[in-house]
Amino acid sequence: MPTMRAAVFLGKGQISLREVPRPEPRAGEALIEITLTTICGTDVHILKGEYPVKPGLVIGHEPVGRIAALGPGVEGFAVGDRVIVGAITPCGQCRACLSGSSSQCAHGGDGYEALGGWRFGNTINGCQAEYVVVPDARANLSRIPDGLTDEEVLMCPDIMSTGFSAAERAHVRIGDAVAVFAQGPIGLCATAGAKLSGASLVIGVDRVPARLELAKRMGADVVLDDTQQDVVAEIKRLTGGGADVTIEALGAQATFENALRSLRPGGVLSSLGVYAGHLDVPYDAFGAGLADHTIVTTLCPGGKERMRRLMSVVRGKAFPFASLVTHAFALDEIEAAYDLFAHQRDGVLKIAIRP
């Protein structure tokens, strides 16, 4: 049986490179040879035991690669096609998909399944490996246009889709004031998404100078260092009483509270963070439930049409998405890559992993 190298979750604190059987695509599936992938903050939550997955699972959910084999019934594609696949792989046929909630895809079931659309590195083997099987391939394979490199589209499967969805779910309108808390990779894409959605004032909040500088290139009109000033008071001053939309992109109690306190009455808090442990909603900041605040969450949209649209944004070159990749490692060095990323050393934002 042919084998491949893959990053396997062994248990809390243990993700290691292993030799595992190379999969074969079944009906409706495609086998992708991975040419580039990356590590996500969610993978670190898995590593720390904060998000449960089964030991023995191959991790990773951001694939860029070439079609190596096609299962029966996968038409319109050919072996050798360069493709990306979203981190969320909807089937396009279940009740959730047909009701417009494809991120919560039930994969052919009749109901809804929480986080059901997220399969790679969660419920099926993922893509920090030499090969990955793509389920429901016709709904999820998206060809990379000529002229775009693997590096340029690496952010599309998850980080761009997640960041942009913050503005989309909050229904950012032309002329809105938007504050984005935390300028990590997802926050930086949320900043770009807010600007693309028509916000006239985008405020980026962080405490790392390099990230604040990059936020300006990603669409922020104003940047604030939360170690140097009262950012809630400054946002209220800049917006005349509070932002129309705030985006929380870290997954921490403090940033969630600041995002809520920075809203105008009737504003929307769009939460992207993956929270570890208990999250409190402060009674006073929530206006005792009478301030007409809305809190929305999102799981990044997937599917081939979403990927096509994101690659169209990349091709427009309005924002330097490739600049989010700060480090590169071979797949053989995956454990060192995790160590760097999990401890946020050396100015790391995103890491390119090359099998």
Indicate whether 252 and 327 sit together in one domain: no
195: number of CA atoms within 13 Å, CB side? Answer: 19
Element (H, E) at 330: strand 325-330
* 82 and 137, same domain (yes or no): yes
Residues 36 and 121 in one domain: yes
pLDDT single digits (tens) 58-81: 999 999 999 999 999 999 999 999
What CATH number does residue 87 fall under? 3.90.180.10
Flag whether the pTM goes above 0.85: yes
Phi (first) and psi of residue 66, to 5 degrees: -125, 145
**Domain containing 256 — which CATH number?**
3.40.50.720
pLDDT score for 318: 94
Can you spell out the DSSP letters for 3-36?
EEEEEEEEETTEEEEEEEEPP---TT-EEEEEEE
Any domain includes 307:
no
Percent of the chain's residues with pLDDT above 90: 86
Instruction: Tell whether 91 and 189 lie within a shared domain.
Output: no
Residues 277 and 175 reside in one and the same domain: yes
Is the residue at 70 inside a domain? Answer: yes
Nearest CA-CA partner of 57 in 137, 119, 140: 119
> Which amino acid, residue 110?
D
For residue 143, pLDDT over 70 is answered with yes
Asked if 224 and 292 sit in the same domain, the reply is yes
Query: Residue 302: inside a domain, yes or no?
Result: no
CA pair distance 51, 349, nearest whole angstrom: 21
Q: Is residue 93 part of a domain?
A: yes
- What b/e sequence results for 85-116 when a residue is b if at least 16 CB atoms lie within 10 Å of its CB, and e otherwise? bbbbbbbbebebbeeebbbbbbbeeeeeeeeb
Mean pLDDT of 85-113: 85
Residue 211: domain span: 164-297
- The span from the CA of 108 to the CA of 218, in Å, is 38
Whether 159 maps to a domain, the answer reads: no
Instruction: Categorize the per-residue pLDDT at 330 as very low, low, confident or very high, splitting at 50, 70 and 90.
Output: very high
Do 233 and 325 fall into the same domain?
Answer: no
User: Where residue 110 falls among pLDDT bands split at 50, 70, 90?
Assistant: low
What phi and psi values does residue 187 have, to the nearest 5 degrees? -65, -40
Domain tally, the chain = 2
Of 112, 3, 23, 15, whose CA–CA distance to 69 is shortest? 23
pLDDT confidence bin for 113, thresholds 50/70/90: low
Is 36 part of a structural domain of the chain?
A: yes
Q: Do 279 and 136 fall into the same domain?
A: no
Could you read off the pLDDT of 209-250 as tens digits, one per residue?
A: 999 999 999 999 999 999 999 999 999 999 999 999 999 999
Dist CA 284 CA 288 (whole Å): 6
| pLDDT above 70 for 331 | yes
Q: What is the pLDDT of residue 283?
A: 84
Residue 27 maps to a domain: yes
Q: Are residues 142 and 264 in the same domain?
A: no
Q: Are residues 146 and 245 in the same domain?
A: no
Average predicted confidence (pLDDT) for the chain? 95
β-strand pairing of 263-271 with 294-297: parallel
Q: Which residues pair with 167 in a beta bridge?
A: none
Mean pLDDT of 117-143: 96
Same domain, 56 and 79: yes
Domain co-membership, 44 together with 111 = yes
- Statement: residue 276 has pLDDT above 80: no
Lowest-confidence segment of 33-37, 90-94, 208-212, 349-353 by average pLDDT: 90-94
Write down the pLDDT at residue 109. 67
List the structure tokens of 355. 């099998």
d(CA 6, CA 215): 34
Residues in the chain: 355
Going by C-alpha positions, the residue among 105, 87, 89, 86 that lies closest to residue 97 is 105
At residue 277, does pLDDT exceed 90? no
Is residue 324 in a domain? yes
